Chain A
Amino acid sequence: MFELGPALSHLFQVMRSFATSHGVSPVLAILISKIIQTNIIILLVSLVPMLLVYAERKVSAFMQARLGPMNVGPWGIFQTLADGIKLMFKEDVVPSGADWWVHFMAPVVAVAPVFVCYAPVPFGQGLTPVDLNTGVLFILSVSGISTIGILLGGWGSGNKYSMLGGLRAAAQLVSFEIPRVLSVVPVLMWYGSMSLRTIALAQQGRWFNIIPKWFIFYPVIGQVAFIVFLISSVAETNRTPFDIPEAESELVAGFHTEFGGMKFALFFLAEYAYVFLASAMATALFLGGGDGFLLPNGIIPSWIWFLLKTFAIVFLFLWFRWTYPRLRVDRLMQFCWKFLMPWSFVNIALAGALVLVRMR
């Protein structure tokens, strides 16, 4: 019953009016409240990876007949926190063959775009940090900057394995960006908007009072778009079965072989933040955002629905990782260019036909 969005906006309203009544200029009050909101988002983005790392450990453990972390806190819930603290206090080692400046910049460039990318995500009713009217485009383009960070990491380490990993990463990420963008195009065509919030809101409603009007339930185009988006998102986040850039058995650890301590942690944070971001995008684009199903509206607030769906997709990511082997690098490219790309184009054509039918 508790919608977080209106409550938060009301809270900020009260705080702003309190500040202005005590002699703070309204512009400054708005600025300060925006800074507080930004910090909440940054905190959230930093905390989500910790949660996901814990989830990954537990999920993988249960898939592998193990228990996972059990000692730090009840059921090991503080294990990630302990690891984070450990990584923070570790010595920062820069190999002698490395380019210091590039080596230093790589994790920063990799992680910085993630925080920005969370801006247009509609976490629920009234919980869109910034409702950009080009939200989808914004996320897809800004998240592409992280590729440069990975390339820098491979280049600046002065290590052959890192170099190979970085080059593979660049080739893979640039290639999979294309089907990923193309898979989203049908959604944009259908709803006529690039704002994630508008798209999520447009998916409310029911067919025959039972099937939600989510994009994934649109015949053929919805499913194909969702599957292509999911596959290319897994590839974009460098996770198994597409973890070629960090293929452990071939390239030791790929582009982050020579990174330790906090620099490694930043790469790690970027990966998990992108996993969550991709899941959140899939939720907003294909699964109706904060729209509930089965239960009547309002029993469970929209932000909880949104998080539930997002974590369901995150679970898919984890599931893939712990059951599939790794593709070979040339097969990966073939898969991208000869399979995902053509089907995305077919899907766009189909979506175009459906849009025409709707216009009639």
Chain B
Amino acid sequence: MNSTTVPKTAAEVFPQKPPEKGMFISLGPQHPSTHGVLRVAITVDGENVTSAQPDIGYLHRATEKLAEKRTYPQIIVLTDRLDYLAAMTNNWSFCLAVEKMLGVQIPERAEYIRIIVGELQRIASHCVFLGTYGIDIGAFTPFLVAFGRERERILDLFEEICGARLTYNYIRIGGVMADTPVGWEKKVRDFVKEMWGHITEYDTLLTYNPIFMDRTKNIGTMTPEMAIAWGVTGPNLRATGFRADVRKDDPYGLYSKMKFDIPIGKQGDCWERYWVRISEMRESLKMIEQCLDMIQPGEWMAKLPKVYRVPVGEGYGHLEAPRGDLGFYIVSDGSPSPYRMHIRAPSFINLQALQQLIVGWKVADVIAILGSVDIVLGEVDR
């Protein structure tokens, strides 16, 4: 098979062994449940899936190449467009890498603001996951509750601090773009107080719904060995029972000061992947509360020259994004723009595990498994 052509038929996708019996179904790229332009070429024998091959690249924008022609502060704008549901953590991860290379000290207030917006972003991202996963399973209401009500509140908060609702460009190299507006912290506190109740509402609406549990419990199980072999990170890895979180293992910012738990699952099925995310929302709320208690007025941006050159060498910054371990690897040749930038996108790596994860389950389960892995195609294709 020529690597540049998109496979169209079963014989092209599986040149050695075309399906002897059964049917070839092309799930996507235009399908209601592929969460963007993803195509999964699956062969089914009756209702059972015999093979699955994700076909990506429909959204490729060459972000890594574009970064080589832009100065460092300009690249932050590009990172917004990766995982468009969690632009704050993308900004932050890139800034971490550059700050490491520059060796710049971040003001304490900026660190707290970063944790607050980062954790709010995690909640907003998981709200989208919860809503879309509900739709995948057939429940429509959680989507409009989580996506249309709570996430909207978070986006309003973000709009107040940076003027944008989706592509923030708020976390800058050396700090954050601007200080929070007057009264913003109180609004966050009110939201956090409300959100505790809303998460309980999600539990009654979806998490412990018998039909939902029936659809997701013991479906699409993943062992820790398999997850690590595929390089899966984030909630998907933690659901298998493996305790791994960049915030604890390699603390960045002020996460070493925060008190929080890492929720883990037992057998890594769809329901546990879902449940880990719901529990993470609670942990995020705890962290935001701690930050709001500790944050003091002060500087929000480190003193940096207008034009700066990153010293020759290489640097890697990574953090716990809502979807896993998001890393930026930068090679600098001393010029204003990087020589090479590589993005370790968690969605891309989590997606690869699908081809092993889906096989053997029913067609209806494919949707449940695909949804529970929670990929964002903007990050997969970059």
Residues of chain A at the chain B interface (Cβ within 8 Å):
60, 63-66, 160, 240-241, 243, 247-250, 252, 322-331
Contact = CB atoms under 8 A, between A and B. Distances in A.
A20 B372 CA distance: 73
B203 interface: no
A240 B138 contact: yes
B23 A325 contact: no
B312 interface: no
Contacts of B206: 325
B47 A160 contact: no
B32 interface: yes
Interface in B97-142: 134-141
Nearest to B215: A328
A65 B364 contact: no
A192 B220 CA distance: 52
A160 B23 contact: yes
Nearest to B149: A65
Nearest to B34: A249
A252 B211 contact: no
B141 A322 contact: yes
B75 to A, nearest CB: 36
Contacts of B362: 328-330
Interface in B130-183: 134-141, 144-145, 148-149
B256 interface: no
A65 B138 contact: no
B191 interface: no
Given A160-B25, A249-B33, A326 B144 contact: no
B139 A250 contact: no
A330 B47 CA distance: 10
B367 A64 contact: no
Contacts of B10: none
Given A250-B367, A326-B138, 4 more contacts: A250-B363, A252-B32, A323-B141, A325-B206
A132 to B, nearest CB: 37
B212 interface: yes
29 contacts: A60-B140, A63-B141, A64-B141, A65-B144, A65-B145, A65-B149, A66-B144, A240-B139, A241-B138, A247-B138, A248-B33, A248-B135, A248-B138, A249-B135, A250-B33, A250-B364, A250-B366, A252-B31, A325-B139, A325-B211, A325-B215, A326-B137, A326-B139, A326-B211, A327-B211, A327-B214, A327-B215, A328-B215, A328-B364
A319 to B, nearest CB: 10
B365 interface: yes
B258 to A, nearest CB: 32
Contacts of A247: 138, 364
Nearest to A321: B140
Contacts of A64: 140-141, 144-145, 148
Contacts of B214: 327-328, 331
B205 interface: yes
Nearest to A249: B33
Nearest to A64: B144
Interface string B202-221: 00011001011011000000
Contacts of A326: 137-139, 211, 215
Interface of B: 23, 25, 31-33, 47, 134-141, 144-145, 148-149, 205-206, 209, 211-212, 214-215, 362-367, 371
B134 to A, nearest CB: 7
B48 to A, nearest CB: 11
A325 B209 contact: yes
A241 B137 CA distance: 10
B212 A325 contact: yes
B137, B145, B209, B214 interface centre (most CB from chain A within 10 Å): B137
A248 to B, nearest CB: 5
Contacts of B365: 328
A163 to B, nearest CB: 10
Given A160-B25, A252-B32, A331-B214, A325 B149 contact: no
A248 B139 CA distance: 11
Contacts of A330: 47, 362
A325 B138 contact: yes
Contacts of A63: 141
Contacts of B371: 249
B209 A324 contact: yes
Contacts of A323: 139, 141, 205
A261 B304 CA distance: 62
Contacts of B47: 329-330
B209 to A, nearest CB: 6
Contacts of B138: 240-241, 243, 247-249, 324-326
